[in-house]
Amino acid sequence: LRANVLADEQSTDVCYTGVCGVGGVAIASVAVISPPADFKKVPDRECEDIEAEVESFQNALQAVRRKIKVVSRMLARSLKDQEHELFEVYMRMLDDNALAGEIIARIREGQWAQGALKYVIRQHVQAFEIMDDPYLRERATDIRDLGRRVLAELQQTQTQARTYADATVLVAEEVTATMLAEVPVDKLQAIVSIRGSSNSHAAILARSMGIPTVMGAVDFPYTRMEGREIIIDGHLGHIYVNPSADLYHHYEQVIIEEANFSKELEVLRDLPAETRDGHTVSLLVNTSLPIDVSRSLEQGAEGVGLYRTEVPFMIKEHFPSEQEQIDCYRTQLEGFAPRPVTMRTLDIGGDKSLPYFPIEEDNPFLGWRGIRVTLDHPEIFLVQIRAMLKANEGLNNLQILLPMVTHVSEVDEALTLIDQAYQEILEEGCQVDKPPVGVMIEVPAAVYQASQLAAKVDFISVGSNDLTQYLLAVDRDNPQVADLYHALHPAVLAALQQIVDAGKMANIPVSLCGELASDPAGALLLMAMGYDTLSMNAAGLPKVKSALRNFTLQQAQTMLQDALAKSNSDQVEELVKESMEAAGLNRLHSHVVKLKAKS
């Protein structure tokens, strides 16, 4: 097949673009996998024998459970234990008190099994698809996949066994976790999903397996690609069809260089993020799930800079009890102990709402969200704080972070409630230190009140993704204006400098969570500003550490001064690129990327 590609005189290097799901490069043959069944073809129909329909559904459910267990075993050797737990999440979705219970109730109302399944699955898919949080929004994919698999069993759909090329790229309209097992692990070289994002469970598993992945490649004509050899550049989110000999050979060399570079980065895992002139920065991770613990520690994480507590709220059909929250938080705190774990209090609102606590607004980004919601419902806030404090007993590595703060009075009110919760658990016999409390600066108002906020709390954490969005008045998920969203905009850099200066004046630590922290060049600029701690996705740790260890603080400060003097983002990009190349770090900054937030 390669010979055919190279001999084709009509090669045009056609490129289709998606988004990076997992970095890396591969050259492989396309294998298109279709969904096992289609809900669009299921009519509404009343059933004549309710018990027979219930039995039919339960039999289909058991068949799907068995197949998921088989898939789980097939991938067991390729996944770490905690990534492997994602299949337990699938199994729990099929429990009687989850999707299955709702479907059976629908059948007992007189709907036939296929129609009841379609109705319940669509209701849940629609509820998740409108959510703002990217991770939670991607759960719609899992629910849709499970529904299709149950439907296939109800319809007695048979799938034919197929063979795969030694180097295969799995392509589907919406790649799911269960699809990954359909291609032998030793042959799966890359993944392309027409829909979906880097927050999907398929992307999470692909990261664990180290498989280059492109998500959201909506223009890729995948139905005409079966068996064709293509090039996948996961870093850029590019898919090349009909490559020229030059492009083909270029990517062959890139694959070799990346393999060698990965080996070099592995030796940095247990080394500090220390510059050549002795300045140290703490590198932490952003987490949401139990599976993040092992992956983060294996990359050398020094703790958690942002744990998103809303995730356990989303997988429930009701507010989780205090004990349920304790169990969830304890997993994170124990997993990283004695390293610090910063837990952000419940950050919901707008279109990031809970199914059992709906919030509908015309402008959710400027509405009832974050600390505004929980202060209006102190009963929710108090239970969560109590759970955090109790989970911290015997560990004392908890830090509490307040999101979406715009007024100093909000901090005062939150601190009063935290004091109340702390006194309550002490009276109940819990022995735990009172944890540090910080504020998340992610709106412009907080930038200008950073000094007043710093006087109230123990630390500051900057949410650079939202802050950039608000400063530039750009919706980062709107393709019409996405090019205007830029984390290296001079105004953004000036705001970040103002925040860290306020923290230093108050003599408290200042950290930053966001995509800017995971970019090696961005990390150098933040270090130069004075940020003590950077928090990012685990995958970004090795390259950031490599950049810091091969730069001096003085070099970074010079680069920052020059960047702050620029008038536009393009000038900053060019400066950063030149500075990285001059330091011999072109492998860490081989192309200038407009940093688009993913979470």
- Where do the domains of the chain lie? 2-33+160-264, 39-154, 267-582
Amino acid code (one letter) for 280: T
DSSP, collapsed to helix, strand or coil, labels residue 17 as strand
| CB-based contact 389:435 (threshold 8 Å) | yes
The owner of tokens 């200038």 is 592
Strands 229-233 and 25-32: antiparallel
Task: Compute how many other C-beta atoms are within 10 angstroms of the C-beta atom of residue 385.
Answer: 27
pTM reported for the whole predicted model: 0.69
| CB-based contact 247:13 (threshold 8 Å) | yes
Positions marked catalytic: 201, 513
Q: What is the DSSP letter of 482?
A: G
Beta-carbon contacts of 354 under 8 Å, excluding residues fewer than 6 positions away, are 313, 314, 319, 348
Strands 213-215 and 19-22: antiparallel
Same fold, 2-33+160-264 and 39-154: no
Q: Does domain 2-33+160-264 have CATH number 3.50.30.10?
A: yes
Q: What is the DSSP letter of 340?
A: -
Domain 39-154 CATH class label: mainly alpha
pLDDT in tens, the chain (599 residues): 444 444 444 557 899 998 888 888 999 999 998 776 778 778 777 888 899 989 989 888 888 888 877 777 766 666 555 555 666 666 777 666 668 888 898 899 998 898 899 998 888 888 777 766 666 677 788 888 888 888 888 887 655 667 899 999 999 988 877 787 778 888 999 999 998 776 676 777 787 677 999 998 999 999 899 999 999 999 888 999 999 999 999 999 989 888 887 777 788 888 999 999 999 999 999 987 776 787 788 888 999 999 988 866 765 666 888 998 999 899 999 999 999 999 999 886 544 555 555 555 454 455 555 788 888 889 989 999 999 999 999 999 999 999 989 999 999 999 999 999 999 999 999 999 999 999 999 999 999 999 999 999 999 999 998 899 889 988 765 656 667 888 899 999 999 999 999 999 999 999 999 889 988 999 999 999 999 999 998 878 998 999 999 999 999 999 999 999 999 999 999 999 999 988 888 777 643 333 333 33
Q: Which CATH superfamily is domain 267-582 in?
A: Phosphoenolpyruvate-binding domains (3.20.20.60)
First CA to last CA distance, the chain: 39
